[in-house]
């Protein structure tokens, strides 16, 4: 059996993103969204989620955002004691804020995948165990599929996947020990083409989707200025191109033809 979790990141980042999430849920294959609780449009996102109870909403954890780069933010958690000591409190604060919005989180992940940092991941696991959050994302499994279908994979993506490949076994071992009830999705696609998940690429992923559970994450937006025209993502990675992929009739037909079941909130 092939089971697919389809998630939109950055819910709450803007009204353009919020509208895209709700329309992709109603008109397309989207079933989950990860909410930035401190995002400019977070309250609006929570209101829309409650008006659409079939949409599963989780925490999109945001930590240590520096204007330099996510990589340097990650280094800060290794070398700055103050940052390390703040992790548990900040995760708890963001989960509590999500719950105060009236949302019971279905899953958790991280902005720029910060949640898989070796300092942060164990703390997030403990929080998931405490609050009954049942699923965590670990990006893995896309590189081998992607390199067969992409003309070019950036050096940064190669470095990221090498790091994730090393971290993967460690993270899964930690998860079994700290939070055995939390599902770790074994394959997660979206990193190699973040902000550029066009219809043809997603169709290739679906054609080659392995048995078991996989996740694909997107960054949809209805901002008319956010269309991807070349091979580079927008600054935020939030694009109308990815919204169109989520609502594509060809994608829906492929799911039926390939007998891929969409994971539904509440199953």
CB 214: neighbour CB atoms within 10 A?
Answer: 24
**256 vs 210, which has greater pLDDT?**
256
* Structural domain span for residue 233: 2-262
SS3 of 69, please? Answer: coil
pTM of the model: 0.88
Residue 147 has pLDDT above 90, yes or no: no
| Least confident interval from 129-133, 160-164, 223-227 | 160-164
**CA separation for the pair 16, 35 (Å, rounded):** 14
pLDDT at 68 (0 to 100):
44
| CATH code, 203 | 3.20.20.370
The model's pLDDT over 238-248, given as tens digits with 9 standing for 90+, comes to 999 999 999 99
- Nearest to 170, CA basis, from 238, 119, 236, 217: 119
User: Does the pLDDT value for residue 69 go beyond 80?
Assistant: no
Q: How many domains does the chain have?
A: 1
Question: Is residue 71 a part of any domain in this protein?
Answer: yes
User: 149 in a domain, yes or no?
Assistant: yes
Cβ count near 165 (within 10 Å): 12
Q: Report yes or no on 70 lying in a domain.
A: yes
Please name the residue ranges forming H helices in the chain. 15-27, 42-51, 70-79, 81-100, 120-131, 142-146, 155-178, 199-207, 240-246, 249-257
Average pLDDT, the chain: 86
Whether residue 267 is contained in a domain is answered as no
DSSP 193-226: TTT---HHHHHHHHHTPPSEEEEEEE-B---GGG
Q: Over pLDDT 90: what percentage of the chain?
A: 56
């Amino acid at each position: 059996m092939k089971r697919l979790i389809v998630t939109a990141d950055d819910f709450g980042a803007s009204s353009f993103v919020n509208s895209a999430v709700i329309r992709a849920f109603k008109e397309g294959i989207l079933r989950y969204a990860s909410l930035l609780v401190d995002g400019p449009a977070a309250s609006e996102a929570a209101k829309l989620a409650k008006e659409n109870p079939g949409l599963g909403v989780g925490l999109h954890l945001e930590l240590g955002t520096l204007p330099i780069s996510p990589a340097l933010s990650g280094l800060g958690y290794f070398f700055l004691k103050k940052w390390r000591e703040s992790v548990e409190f900040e995760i708890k604060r963001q989960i509590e804020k999500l719950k105060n919005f009236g949302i019971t989180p279905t899953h958790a992940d991280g902005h720029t995948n910060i949640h898989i940092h070796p300092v942060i991941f164990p703390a997030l696991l403990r929080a998931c165990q405490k609050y009954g959050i049942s699923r965590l994302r670990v990006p893995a499994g896309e590189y081998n599929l992607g390199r067969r279908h992409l003309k070019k994979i950036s050096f940064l993506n190669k470095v990221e996947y090498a790091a994730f490949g090393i971290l993967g076994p460690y993270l899964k071992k930690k998860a079994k020990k700290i939070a055995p009830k939390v599902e770790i999705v074994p394959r997660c696609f979206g990193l190699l083409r973040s902000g550029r998940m066009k219809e043809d690429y997603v169709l290739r992923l679906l054609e080659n989707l392995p048995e078991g559970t996989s996740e694909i994450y997107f960054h949809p937006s209805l901002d008319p200025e956010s269309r991807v025209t070349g091979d580079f993502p927008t600054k935020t990675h939030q694009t109308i191109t990815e919204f169109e992929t989520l609502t594509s009739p060809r994608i829906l037909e492929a799911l039926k033809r390939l007998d891929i079941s969409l994971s539904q909130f509440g199953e």
